[in-house]
Chain A
């Protein structure tokens, strides 16, 4: 009897210990499961991120890349990347480019080439897409990166688009001397395709990017980057005047075909009309005419070949004015004779659809004349200047008056230009203060056929 009781007692205790032990083991396993699941998901995510980065880099290096990756072993898991690249061409595997025969630009034509041949074409000045198509915002590349680890898959979707110079509030190929300094405020995205040297504590409100880094000088060495900073971005200033000419719906040129310089006056009226005159060589000005902007240049692109543009007024509509040099000395400039504004001011009306692009192969200047001396100047436009600088003429810089040059838009130029004279304390005492406000509409909208950068940019990263 006693022996049986002892056996039951031992069995009872054993059962209790087993239940309790099993319970504890279960709890421990659940703790481990939690972290194991988190580790697996994190690893799958990291694989997907790596795939997206690899693919984005491949597209940056080769604009037509869409090979992707298939079942690549990576970090103990598997990587799959699918790429849809509109720049990679049509269904037969060919890539559509605009071919510009070197030395014979008038023979430009659209053609389809194999993907492997694209790089060589781009190197000699061709560009992606059909010659007469405005490719801005129409070509998108999408990367879908899937990282799989221990049966768990994480997906990252990245969208890229071709970037346009118009998005920059300030772009300078090189800043040789007029370094951003204490008291300077730069609005909108900023890029210099060299090294950015700052003096003291200038303020950059938008994202700043450089090609070769940053040097801080002065006291304090504390530039303010309120929109972030990135280095290593190579974005050379390119100028496809050939493509612009083909896209222009109004061309002013020497109709005598003797390669004379041409001067064109374009005065914009707030009712949507343009009053224009032209002068060929040393001849006299033509009789002025006034037309609707949409009649004069239906797609908004006005191209002046071998000439200078003199402009002012109030733009009602969309327009891009391009002045090209084409080898002619003294040509390729745009001169503002007075204020250049929009009929509907986007600063007070964000829905304003008035937009202007000013493109000069050489320089863009505020003219020193009776309209501009001794007063504040307002310029609303995205200004793009290939070889020179953007700013007031010396007469305005050195006048015995201190005013403001109010810029609403962007400045894309080869270098910075001083707009005023400064005392030893670093304060302007005569000339024009540089008062720049970025037109944020330029992040999404560009003036007609404004130059693009031939590069992609990431616009969306979903994870």
Chain B
């Protein structure tokens, strides 16, 4: 083995080592990016699902297929708070008036997830057992406006004043790489349930 051979071996080891380091670094970066991108896809999918459901339900406040069962739609909102609302609707279009409730649970309910801020979003129909969905909701905030666009202060004692609502929804993924949580935010500025205005 001559000197040049030794140089070849050393050189190839150096190049091979550098390639290995690049490979390991790339693997880590790929893992991180996959995690982050995957998380963003999940939160955005969760957001679209949550928003679609919220819009579907909230636009039907005061609706019943048999309209005579809700003779005065202005009384359809039973109670309204900043993160909780109860209203009358016909959830499955069967001519039976249902009471639907939306609210978020405390963060302690999801202490097993790495994200310290996520909480259940509850959608309860009538007196059914509350079943939360963990979509990574970290904020579910409701604001209410009267017919002239004035913000109604809490507590809202006369829900019949509510003409439009603003819904804020923030969703984060429940686990993240290096605690770098992806988040998405959606705001419905003036959601008006048409049946509240009828008659």
Contact = CB atoms under 8 A, between A and B. Distances in A.
Interface in B48-65: 48, 51-52, 59-60, 63-65
B34 interface: yes
Nearest to A203: B158
Interface residues of B, number: 40
B115 interface: no
Contact of A24 (B33, B60, B93): B33
Given A225-B147, A443-B71, A461-B195, A20 B160 contact: no
Interface residues of A, number: 39
B160 A23 contact: no
B199 A225 contact: no
Interface stretch (B37-45, B78-86, B124-132): B37-45
Interface in A193-218: 205-207
Contacts of A30: 41, 45
A30 B14 CA distance: 41
4 smallest beta-carbon distances between A and B, as pairs = A443-B71, A461-B194, A460-B67, A27-B37
B160 A458 contact: no
Given A189-B199, A440-B72, A460-B198, A159 B67 contact: yes
Nearest to B68: A444
Contacts of A224: 158, 161
Contacts of B109: none
B176 to A, nearest CB: 15
A228 interface: yes
5 contacts: A9-B19, A20-B30, A206-B72, A459-B199, A460-B63
B197 interface: yes
A101 B56 CA distance: 51
A30 B198 CA distance: 40
A341 to B, nearest CB: 23
Contact of A28 (B34, B37, B51): B37
Contact of A226 (B47, B64, B71, B160): B160
A429 interface: no
B74 interface: yes
A226 B161 CA distance: 4
A30 B47 CA distance: 13
A213 B40 CA distance: 49
A460 B147 contact: no
B163 A226 contact: no
A27 B41 contact: yes
B143 interface: no
Contacts of B28: none
A224 B163 CA distance: 13
B38 A35 contact: no
A463 B67 contact: no
A42 to B, nearest CB: 9
